[in-house]
Structure 1
Amino acid sequence: MNIGIYIYDDAEVLDFSGPFEVFSTAQRLAKNEWNIFLVAQHNQPVNARGGFSVNPHYSFADHPPIDLLLVVGGVHNNELTKAPVIDWIKRTAQLAPVVASVCTGAFLLAKAELLNGKNVTTHWEDINDLAAMFPLLNVISNKRWVKHDKFTTSAGISAGIDMSLHLVAEHISPELAKLTAKQMQYTWHKNI
């Protein structure tokens, strides 16, 4: 499975590093063939929140096929205005069997018209804005993550870790997800 995590300037660090850690830990424990990588629009360093500089593994032009696309949140307003970004997200998500977002990454999926008519969530602070900007979405609050068809959206920041553990449980096994959380010394917050 190729797991591509989309990052951009002012992306929230834990939004991409938390899921990356979950998937890479699960890969190591299961000794599976997952390929986890970061994708940016261009093949150059990305300055995430707080000036955290990170090098993407691939750009839009050279990444391998993506089986699980994860779109992260952060200061996303600039990304919403970039037609090449929204077009890439739309094309990639249409081909990927699994699509997820962390926090305000849901805005980017919504802008690409991928979430219309679906149950979704985002960071508690952005729930009202998501619902107002994209009235065709059914925005749910008070959930760590929401799954609808092949789309899974999570609430803010650390909720991306919980959602990623859920994806491990769903696509491999609940036992591997529990073992991954234990290995990370993380208390998995499940949806109830």
Structure 2
Amino acid sequence: MRRRVVFVAFEGFQMTDLAGPADVFATADLLVPDGGYRTEVVAVRAGAVAALNGIPVLAGGALREVTGPIDTLIVVGGLSVPACLDDRELVGQVARLADTARRVASVCNGAFVLAEAGLLDGRRATTHWLVARDLAALYPRVEVDADPIYIRDGDVWTSAGVSAGVDLALALVADDHGHALARDVACGLVVYLHRPGGQSQFSTAMRALAPPREPFRELQAFIDAHPADDLSVPALARRTGMSERHFSRVFTAQTGLPPGRYVELSRADAARRLLEITDHPLERVARECGLGSPETLYRVFRRHWRISPGDYRRRFHLKES
């Protein structure tokens, strides 16, 4: 039987949150015609629902008219989600349909709708990193983790922002039909297969603030461009003409990260890029990124990306045709 996937939309939703996962399921359906997927879009009222970009999408049915069983219920995200939390019809119907669904998922800040419906209470969940603190503050019974791309807690799945919805959908397909099919779907859509849920949604640039003072903006750029250089606190302090103590204090205030942590993250990002675009052995990657040894490279990757360097390369290596 084809699995029924129901997307919940609303005025002002993020189009990619819907279109990306929907294309994953549609491609999987082509590859497994007897056991694939059929997708539908529903909203509080049937009819055209305008996305944030102004493009209307047809909701084939009203939420209150939808009956089970549902295989997968997915709530998309968008800038209008905060206003949607006051829509008792939307939240109540999502809670009702969740009872008829085998599993429930959200993309981006669609997690707020799940939380408002009580579906994340006592569960670990993620959302877009920009609003993770808000989710935790509004719903203290939810264990919010802002780092992963997606999280599965039992039969409830949540994902980070926008493109992470594709990773979530690929993970759902892999859970249903195995990683081989998910790989074929990813190849057909020309997307990475598939970022593991535990992989961080942050890069160094996203984790750190842009320093307001010019010397520190230049220093930040220098660190990112020269990972193999001496980037110790004494060396960096000398470049700014400051004492080590004063430099560490000002750098942390300017970027939001202590200098040692920023340097390690920058080197981890550099290693990530080399693993994607080169065939260099791990010894060379570690050396060129200032991490010294494959053992240090491994520890840094596990700490920040929650994946080994070798596994990362197998998933994301870009080979020239």
| Fold agreement, TM-score > 0.5 | yes
Match of 2:118 in 1: 113
**2: distance between equivalents of 1:168 and 1:45?**
28
Equivalent position amino acid for 1:136 in 2: R
Q: 5+ residue gaps in structure 1?
A: none
Equivalence map 1:41-190=2 (5 Å): 41-65=44-68, 66-74=70-78, 75-187=80-192, 188-190=194-196
The alpha-carbon distance between structure 1 residues 84 and 55, as it changes in their structure 2 partners (threshold 3 A), is same
Which deviates more from structure 2 when the two are superposed, residues 72-81 or residues 162-171?
72-81
Aligned partner letter, 1:111: E
Report deviation, 1:115.
Answer: 0.5
Identity of aligned residues (%): 34
Cα distance, 1:64 vs structure 2: 4.8
> Displacement of 1:34 after TM fit?
2.0
CA contact (8 A) 1:130 1:139 kept: yes
Taking the aligned partners of 2:94 and 2:149, their CA distance within structure 1 comes to 23
Deviates more, 1:151-160 or 1:171-180: 171-180
SS in 1 for 2:99: helix
Structure 1 equivalent of residue 41 of structure 2: 38
Q: Say which one has the larger Rg.
A: 2
- Give how far 1:147 is off: 0.4
- What is the root-mean-square deviation in Å for CA atoms of aligned residues? 1.1
The answer as to whether partners of 1:2 and 1:64 remain within 8 angstroms in 2 is: no
Q: Where is the helix percentage greater, Structure 1 or Structure 2?
A: 2
Q: Give the superposition deviation at 1:63.
A: 3.3
What letter is aligned with 1:9? E
Give the partner amino acid of 1:23: F
Q: Residue 45 of structure 1: SS of its match in structure 2?
A: strand
Amino acid at match of 2:46: N
Higher relative contact order at CA 8 Å, sep ≥6: structure 1 or structure 2? 1
Specify the alignment match of 2:18 in structure 1.
16
Farther-moved stretch of structure 1 (48-57 vs 115-124):
48-57
Q: Which amino acid aligns with 2:96?
A: R
Residue type of the partner of 1:99?
Answer: V
- Aligned twin of 2:27: 25
CA contact 2:67–2:97 (8 Å) conserved in 1 = no
Deviation per CA, 1:94-147, whole angstroms, max 9, x where unpaired? 221110000000000000011111000000101100000001000012101000
Contact 2:28-2:36 within 8 A present in 1 as well: no
The answer to whether the 8 Å contact 2:30/2:36 transfers is no
Partners of 1:47 and 1:19 lie apart in 2 by: 18
Greater fraction of residues in strand: 1
Aligned twin of 2:319: none
**4+ residue runs of structure 1 moved beyond 3 angstroms?**
61-64
